[in-house]
Structure 1
Amino acid sequence: MKKIIAWTFIGYILYALAMTFYIWIASDTSIPSELAGTMADPATFLNEEELLLVDEYAKIRNTLYFLTLPTEWIFYFILLLLGGARAIQRWAERITKYKWIQAGIYLFWLTLFLTFVHFPFSYIRYQLSVKYNITVQPFSGWMRDQLVGFWEGILVMWIVVCVLYILIRKFQKWWWVISWLLFIPFIFLMMYIQPVVIDPLYNDFTELKDKELEEKILGLAAESDIPAEKVFEVNMSEKTNSINAYVTGVGGNARIVLWDTLLTKLNEDEILYIMAHEMGHYVMNHIVVGISGYILFSFFGFYFVMRVAKWSIRRFGERFHIQHLNQLASLPLLLLLVSLLLFVASPITNAVSRHQEHAADVYAIKLTKNPAPAIGAFQEITKSGLSEVNPPALIKFLRYTHPPMVDRISYLENYLEETDKHLD
């Protein structure tokens, strides 16, 4: 056991050194030579100090991401190996005979321990964001969001874990199928309540105050046959200097939301392009496609977790102090497998997301018929968030749900040039 733990940490150190070397020395973030001097070249819209800040911030942030990535897996593995998973179960069983309360106690301690593991990295990311003037949120506000997220996560997972283990105990062979069937309405429920229950826990949402701008945004929505009646703004200026907008929710709770920082840093045409981009997601049914794909993926995911979990208990159950899958002590094993599966699938889901984002860019150009403001908007997004214009290949592969700015801006510039040629 000591050797396994020792080699686990040695492996982590070697991995950390390899990733640090790749990010700081081996990777190439320079733009293609043919794009030098174009609007996609950060040297044309960032000064020398901003260029240095973008490079530093991206490298530090990417390093932190990869250092943090395996810590959750290592935590679950060590917890199982040392018998901690079983010990927490026994402690919960001594407190109460009620299974649903045992699940709550187990989740509290498991989440608390994992939070302690992640907190140093989360705090460093927060301080880094403050140092580079991305985050303006005071530490007290940041800690409040951490606490809200802690309890929100426990509450949601409590419901999930209680239902899951009831099914595992009652339907040993087909629990994964029934769980998947129940997972489908659960996804829609969470997406439905997200805008009206969960999001307001972190920020204040109001109707867009600029009614003239709202009228123009709703005009674009009408052109796209989107039955929108309101546009919402969120007070993100209390937390960040970066800018964003998004579509959230399903059915009657679907919302188009923009950050209030967007209103102060972009001009009207740039804002209209960003909102047209979000409308593109709605018109092309990206939310529906995303949910459908997630449901299909989750079917195979449940099957994979079931098969590997059963094999792991047969093969390593004695070492993990687990006899059956229906024990609460198996929860870290299930969470470990889910986390690993999501990571392995992330390159595919990221690629699909990047494709959808590009399609929304194209839709927004056709809707607004004015690509020039889009270029200005993307340049300002880069500047305000110190975004990396051309990330290393591995970073893009594993992290980017949007096309890199070099691709988005160069596409828009080419589109603008083609439009000018046709006009001539």
Structure 2
Amino acid sequence: MARKLGFYSVLLFIVYGLFFYWYLFYFADSKLPFEFQGTAADPATFLNTRELALSDEYSKLKNFMFFISTPLEWLIYLFILLFGFSKAFRKWGEDSGKYKIIQKAIYLFWLNLMAYIATFPLSYIGHKVSTDYHISTQSFPSWMKDELIDFWVNYVIMFVIFIVLYWLMNKSKKRWWLYAWLLSVPFTLFLTFIQPVIIDPLYNNFTALSDKQLEEKILALAKESNIPAEHVFEVNMSDKTNALNAYVTGIGSNSRIVLWDTTTKELKDNEILFVMAHEMAHYVEKHIYYGIALSLVLSFFGLYFIYKLMNVLVSKWGDALKISRVEDYQSFPLILLLISMLLFAVNPLTNIVSRYEEKRADNYAVQLTSDPEAGITTFQKLAKTGLSEVNPPFLVKVFRYSHPTMLERISVLEEKSILQKNSEN
């Protein structure tokens, strides 16, 4: 049974990969609709011939890696179960540690390490592609440093979840999923609260914005939006990327307005103000809280689904998966596999919600700055520096795009700009 499961899983993965290779490289058509040709949204108006070709190549490669990376993760967790690695990791933990918490820590370390090693080649290829296309400027040692930070941050967070989850499973076999969800509420809020001041600084250096005149303009916008901000933070990203970005992060007193230094170097002041007005909209309209609420709703149903499915899978294929009981922490790779599958499945839904919020943020930025032209040039520069697809294929948009496409954003702003000019005349 284990061999059969493994064989058909690999076969399915190969068929899936071939489908997306065919879809992205041969079938999908990203050509601009006729009615948008020659408009501000037409990439031919702000990208040269070489940049257009590079954008097409880079987008196809990154999209393909996205679509195969998550199913590859499922395959890895499945093979960890089928080949008895999870059982072996547990034995290593029991042989190496006297206390149960130490045993579980060792088990989880080996599990995470194997998953990391198995996915490392694809991660490195992604880094190499970004470097080759001059999106990333990060050296390999710097990239590896971030990878190791990722590994340990994820390990610590996962260890807390792992310990609590299996403690609940052993305490209540029927309601552990509900208790786990209830505990996830304060845990999610806690992580969101500490991220700007504890987690983010592990990766980058945050300082006060050096351009004080620009900071005054941004804070004036914040005041107009009733955002209690006293500082704007600048993060040194030019050592890692040529891409542009800005964001508002955190909740409560730990909220931060952040600009990448690449953004301050590449964009004019009016363009930066448009970007910041867009980001402020997320704060004003409480999109962060809505995002947390949506994730908690989805996790409620997700945990219940995992609870039901775990019992079915263990009763039917427990021998092949080397799992005797659901509450045995040897089953953790199966939980990770199911969580990953559910997250992938709900991507289209969460992206729809996110695109709606981003559209509202664009509208808010126009209202606050009265400068849709700044938005147009900003998005053109974002597309240029990131080699972004202006009009991505349907499945790419559905599964990858948390923002409206550049075609949609620029064309809407162009309409607003024309209306504004007509009203002025």
Report the alpha carbon displacement of residue 4 of structure 1 after superposing the two structures with TM.
Answer: 2.9
Secondary structure of the residue aligned to 1:69 is helix
Following the alignment from structure 1 to structure 2, what is the Cα–Cα distance between the partners of residues 336 and 4?
15
Could you tell me whether the CA contact under 8 Å between 1:176 and 1:303 is conserved in 2?
yes
Could you tell me whether the CA contact under 8 Å between 1:71 and 1:117 is conserved in 2?
no
Q: Which residue of 2 aligns with 1:346?
A: 347
Deviations 1:21-61 (A, max 9, x none): 10011001011110000000000000001101100100111
Could you tell me whether the CA contact under 8 Å between 2:235 and 2:259 is conserved in 1?
yes
Secondary structure of the residue aligned to 1:243 is coil
Could you tell me whether the CA contact under 8 Å between 2:70 and 2:340 is conserved in 1?
no
Counterpart residue type for residue 141 of structure 2: S
Report the alpha carbon displacement of residue 292 of structure 1 after superposing the two structures with TM.
Answer: 1.1
Following the alignment from structure 2 to structure 1, what is the Cα–Cα distance between the partners of residues 128 and 75?
25
Counterpart residue type for residue 264 of structure 1: K
Q: Does 1:71 align with 2:72?
A: yes
Q: Which residue of 1 aligns with 2:127?
A: 126
Q: Which residue of 2 aligns with 1:325?
A: 326
Deviations 1:370-400 (A, max 9, x none): 1101100000000011111110000000000
Report the alpha carbon displacement of residue 87 of structure 1 after superposing the two structures with TM.
Answer: 2.1
Following the alignment from structure 2 to structure 1, what is the Cα–Cα distance between the partners of residues 294 and 19?
34
Per mean C-alpha deviation after superposition, the further-off stretch among 238-247 and 87-96 is 87-96
Q: Which residue of 2 aligns with 1:243?
A: 244
Could you tell me whether the CA contact under 8 Å between 1:167 and 1:178 is conserved in 2?
yes
Report the alpha carbon displacement of residue 91 of structure 1 after superposing the two structures with TM.
Answer: 2.2
Q: Which residue of 1 aligns with 2:235?
A: 234
Q: When the two structures are aligned, how many residues end up with a matched partner?
A: 424
Following the alignment from structure 2 to structure 1, what is the Cα–Cα distance between the partners of residues 256 and 362?
19
Could you tell me whether the CA contact under 8 Å between 1:378 and 1:409 is conserved in 2?
yes
Q: Which residue of 1 aligns with 2:373?
A: 372
Following the alignment from structure 1 to structure 2, what is the Cα–Cα distance between the partners of residues 295 and 10?
35
Deviations 1:273-303 (A, max 9, x none): 0000000111111011111111111111111
Q: Which residue of 1 aligns with 2:290?
A: 289
Mapping 1:120-269, distance limit 5 Å: 120-269=121-270
* Residues 399 and 406 of structure 1: CA distance in aligned 2, closer, same or farther (over 3 Å): same
Counterpart residue type for residue 217 of structure 2: K
Following the alignment from structure 1 to structure 2, what is the Cα–Cα distance between the partners of residues 324 and 225?
54
Could you tell me whether the CA contact under 8 Å between 1:273 and 1:374 is conserved in 2?
yes
Counterpart residue type for residue 357 of structure 2: Q
Report the alpha carbon displacement of residue 104 of structure 1 after superposing the two structures with TM.
Answer: 1.0
Measured on the aligned residues, the alpha-carbon RMSD in Å equals 1.0
Report the alpha carbon displacement of residue 200 of structure 1 after superposing the two structures with TM.
Answer: 0.5
Q: Which residue of 2 aligns with 1:40?
A: 41
Report the alpha carbon displacement of residue 8 of structure 1 after superposing the two structures with TM.
Answer: 2.0
Following the alignment from structure 1 to structure 2, what is the Cα–Cα distance between the partners of residues 80 and 172?
22
Following the alignment from structure 2 to structure 1, what is the Cα–Cα distance between the partners of residues 189 and 256?
15
Q: Which residue of 1 aligns with 2:54?
A: 53
Could you tell me whether the CA contact under 8 Å between 2:236 and 2:261 is conserved in 1?
yes
Deviations 1:307-327 (A, max 9, x none): 111111111112212111221
Report the alpha carbon displacement of residue 406 of structure 1 after superposing the two structures with TM.
Answer: 0.5
Report the alpha carbon displacement of residue 69 of structure 1 after superposing the two structures with TM.
Answer: 2.2
Q: Which residue of 2 aligns with 1:278?
A: 279
Deviations 1:137-163 (A, max 9, x none): 111100111111111111111111111
Report the alpha carbon displacement of residue 357 of structure 1 after superposing the two structures with TM.
Answer: 0.4
Deviations 1:303-355 (A, max 9, x none): 11111111111111122121112211110011111111111111000110011
Counterpart residue type for residue 27 of structure 1: A
Q: Which residue of 2 aligns with 1:391?
A: 392
Q: Which residue of 1 aligns with 2:8?
A: 7
Q: Which residue of 1 aligns with 2:413?
A: 412
Report the alpha carbon displacement of residue 165 of structure 1 after superposing the two structures with TM.
Answer: 1.0
Report the alpha carbon displacement of residue 94 of structure 1 after superposing the two structures with TM.
Answer: 2.1
Which runs of no fewer than 5 residues in structure 2 stay unpaired? none
Report the alpha carbon displacement of residue 418 of structure 1 after superposing the two structures with TM.
Answer: 1.3
Which runs of no fewer than 5 residues in structure 1 stay unpaired? none
Counterpart residue type for residue 295 of structure 2: Y
Q: Does 1:17 align with 2:56?
A: no
Deviations 1:172-218 (A, max 9, x none): 22111111111000001101110111101100001111111000000
Following the alignment from structure 1 to structure 2, what is the Cα–Cα distance between the partners of residues 281 and 4?
45
Counterpart residue type for residue 243 of structure 1: L
Following the alignment from structure 1 to structure 2, what is the Cα–Cα distance between the partners of residues 189 and 285?
17
Secondary structure of the residue aligned to 2:47 is coil
Per mean C-alpha deviation after superposition, the further-off stretch among 178-187 and 7-16 is 7-16
Following the alignment from structure 1 to structure 2, what is the Cα–Cα distance between the partners of residues 167 and 99?
15
Counterpart residue type for residue 338 of structure 1: I
Report the alpha carbon displacement of residue 97 of structure 1 after superposing the two structures with TM.
Answer: 4.0
Counterpart residue type for residue 290 of structure 2: V
Following the alignment from structure 1 to structure 2, what is the Cα–Cα distance between the partners of residues 65 and 293?
23
Following the alignment from structure 2 to structure 1, what is the Cα–Cα distance between the partners of residues 172 and 99?
20
Following the alignment from structure 1 to structure 2, what is the Cα–Cα distance between the partners of residues 319 and 127?
38
Percentage of pairs with the same residue: 48
Report the alpha carbon displacement of residue 167 of structure 1 after superposing the two structures with TM.
Answer: 1.1
Could you tell me whether the CA contact under 8 Å between 2:359 and 2:404 is conserved in 1?
yes
Report the alpha carbon displacement of residue 117 of structure 1 after superposing the two structures with TM.
Answer: 1.3
| TM-score normalised by the chain length of structure 2 | 0.98
Deviations 1:221-248 (A, max 9, x none): 1111111111111000111000001111
Following the alignment from structure 1 to structure 2, what is the Cα–Cα distance between the partners of residues 97 and 325?
24
Following the alignment from structure 1 to structure 2, what is the Cα–Cα distance between the partners of residues 327 and 146?
30
Q: Which residue of 2 aligns with 1:108?
A: 109
* Residues 380 and 209 of structure 1: CA distance in aligned 2, closer, same or farther (over 3 Å): same
